[in-house]
DNA sequence: CGACTGCTAACTGTTGACAGATAGCCTCTG
DNA sequence: CAGAGGCTATCTGTCAACAGTTAGCAGTCG
């Protein structure tokens, strides 16, 4: 569980080739420019990034530690692939993090926080009504926002990392509809309970919500071409 | 949240300097041979490990991603230090992981598993009776065992990583008594409920247990010399 | 015809040297 | 004597070349 891999509001842009490469590579993996299972040729990649292999290898080590790449001795680094069991494992980890997060959020959330998240949900609702579906950013942004409300930076970093892995795992399924309508209602219900200070209920709702999301993800996943 | 940094039963020893250095360095940090706040001189360390700076730097990147080291641009890598807030954040993350883990364990635990963990607890009880206190390995080993019962390798890796960070954070307090007697009883209670298949109750007990552990850790922490 | 063995090409793992940045010290000045 | 400024030594960031390993292919033998 790394704790310092997101840009951060105060942290100015990485000033080293190695650091910049981490961000560039992560973006290439998450955007699908590098596909799951694909091998990274160090010489070729270094030339493309206009750096030498040293800093590139450091970046690869970091992303491997984040779970986005997998390194095989003397054979190279590959974009990580996930089977159905691993996707389930990832979701269980996510559920662990986010159910506890809402519990904490319910204890600590201020009136301003409630308003902020409410505003976020309203925007999402508008987007849904406008049928302008861009499911990924909004969906995960809500969950990230909730965790951010705990004020626990370490918990947030861990959550972001898991979200990224899940995004990668699901990427092979293409951009399927993510049951946005139902998810929206469930988000609203979670926030209501958090705002009311009922962490227990919020946690239960979040757990149910994420388990439904998991089932949905697995259904899509099983219907897609395998990863081996 | 990295997912492949523990030796693993099947995974043979790392065959590369870089990989071996990760294990050696992690051990140096966790054993206290490298102290929190201490700076790692690359040239000196590389000479000590009898390797060059390249692989060493790769290892350092990995450990930074694991949260055991902190890298400052153009200044070097330092063994990470934690303040009281970060220790609390770490514990909250740990609580998130382990409360959900016992929930899963309660669903999946077999009779053999129950016997195994029961045996572990018996041994611990014997050690306590014999007054041969070696608190750390047993304490964390129990919690790791519980998480392992979920069969979720990713969850286990994340938990181990958090445990390591907590161990590092607490290391400055020296080896204080870790209220072994009370912890033992609470462990026993958790296992009983897991064995009975009552995940909800087990989770509540685990949460209470870990919050008590946190309060204890913070009490010791505050009474120790600061980290800045 | 199939399997095994040895060779070759490509790539990763590692090294040592070069360049740029940082921090501490020393000097100079008000 | 205190503070500012420049200088120097040390260390990190980066690079290019060397060495060892792996995978694929061709050739040979059963």
Q: What is the CATH number of the domain that holds B148?
A: 1.20.120.530
User: Are A200 and A62 a contacting pair, CB within 8 Å?
Assistant: no
Q: Which residue is nearest to nucleotide C20 (CA to C1')?
A: B74
Look at A11 and B90; give whichever has higher pLDDT: B90
- Are B64 and B97 found together in one domain? no
Give the pLDDT of chain B (228 residues) as one tens digit per residue: 444 443 433 345 788 999 999 999 999 999 999 999 999 999 999 999 999 999 999 999 999 999 999 999 999 999 999 999 999 999 999 999 999 999 999 999 888 888 888 887 777 777 766 655 555 556 668 999 999 999 999 999 999 999 999 999 999 887 766 677 788 889 999 999 999 999 999 999 999 999 999 999 999 988 876 654
Residue B228 inside a domain? The answer is: no
Residue B43 inside a domain? The answer is: yes
pLDDT one-digit tens code per residue, A13-54: 788 999 999 999 999 999 999 999 999 999 999 999 999 999
**Residue of A59, A108, A154 to mutate for B, most B C-beta atoms under 10 A:** A154
Strand D closer than 7 Å to the CB of A18? Answer: yes
Residue A115 inside a domain? The answer is: yes
Average pLDDT (A151-160) is 97
| CATH number of the domain residue B18 falls in | 1.10.10.10
Instruction: Compute the distance between CA of residue B114 and CA of residue B185 in angstroms, rounded to an integer.
Output: 16
Q: Measured between CB atoms, which of A2, A61, A96 is closest to B67?
A: A2
Strand D closer than 7 Å to the CB of A53? Answer: yes
Residue A228 inside a domain? The answer is: no
- What's residue A174's pLDDT? 74
pLDDT one-digit tens code per residue, A175-190: 766 677 788 889 999 9
Partnered with residue B77 across adjacent β-strands are B40, B71
Angle between helices B17-31 and B53-65 (to 10 degrees): 50
- B78 SS3 class: strand
Considering only CB atoms, which chain A residues are within 8 Å of B73? Answer: 14-16, 19
- What's residue B2's pLDDT? 43
- Are A127 and A217 found together in one domain? yes
Nearest-CA residue of chain B relative to A64?
B2
Structure tokens at A180: 């946005």
Give yes or no for A76 touching B (CB within 8 A): no
Domain that residue B55 falls in? 3-79
Give yes or no for A99 touching B (CB within 8 A): yes
- What's residue B179's pLDDT? 74
Residue B11 inside a domain? The answer is: yes
Nearest-CA residue of chain A relative to B66?
A2
- Are B138 and B31 found together in one domain? no
Q: Please report which confidence band the pLDDT of residue A131 belongs to, taking 50, 70 and 90 as the band edges.
A: low
Query: Which residue in the block uniquely carries the two structure tokens 């219907």?
Result: A223
**Residue of B60, B61, B99, B202 to mutate for A, most A C-beta atoms under 10 A:** B61
- Calculated CA dihedral for residues B149, A65, B66, B213, nearest 10 degrees: -20
Give yes or no for A2 touching B (CB within 8 A): yes
- Are A53 and A95 found together in one domain? no
Give yes or no for B96 touching A (CB within 8 A): yes
pLDDT one-digit tens code per residue, A87-125: 999 999 999 999 999 999 999 988 888 888 888 777 777
Strand D closer than 7 Å to the CB of A110? Answer: no
Considering only CB atoms, which chain B residues are within 8 Å of A15? Answer: 73-74
Structure tokens at B103: 């929930």
């Amino acid at each position: 569980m790394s704790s310092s891999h997101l840009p951060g509001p105060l942290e100015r842009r990485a000033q080293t080739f190695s650091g910049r490469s981490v961000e560039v590579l992560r973006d290439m993996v998450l955007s699908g420019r590098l596909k799951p299972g694909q091998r990274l040729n160090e010489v070729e990649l270094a030339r493309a990034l206009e750096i030498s292999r040293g800093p590139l290898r450091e970046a690869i080590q970091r992303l491997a530690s984040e779970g986005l790449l997998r390194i095989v001795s003397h054979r190279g680094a590959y974009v990580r692939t996930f089977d159905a069991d691993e996707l389930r494992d990832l979701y269980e980890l996510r559920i662990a993090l986010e159910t506890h997060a809402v519990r904490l959020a319910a204890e600590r959330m201020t009136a301003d926080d409630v308003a902020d998240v409410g505003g976020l949900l309203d925007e999402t609702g508008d987007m849904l009504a406008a049928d302008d579906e861009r499911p990924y950013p909004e969906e995960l942004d809500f969950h990230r926002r909730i965790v951010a409300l705990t004020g626990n930076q370490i918990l947030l970093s861990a959550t972001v990392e898991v979200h990224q892995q899940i995004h990668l795992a699901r990427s092979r399924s293409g951009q399927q509809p993510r049951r946005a309508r139902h998810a929206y209602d469930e988000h609203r219900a979670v926030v209501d309970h958090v705002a009311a200070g009922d962490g227990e209920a919020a946690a239960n709702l979040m757990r149910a919500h994420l388990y439904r999301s998991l089932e949905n993800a697995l259904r899509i996943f099983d219907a897609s071409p395998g990863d081996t």
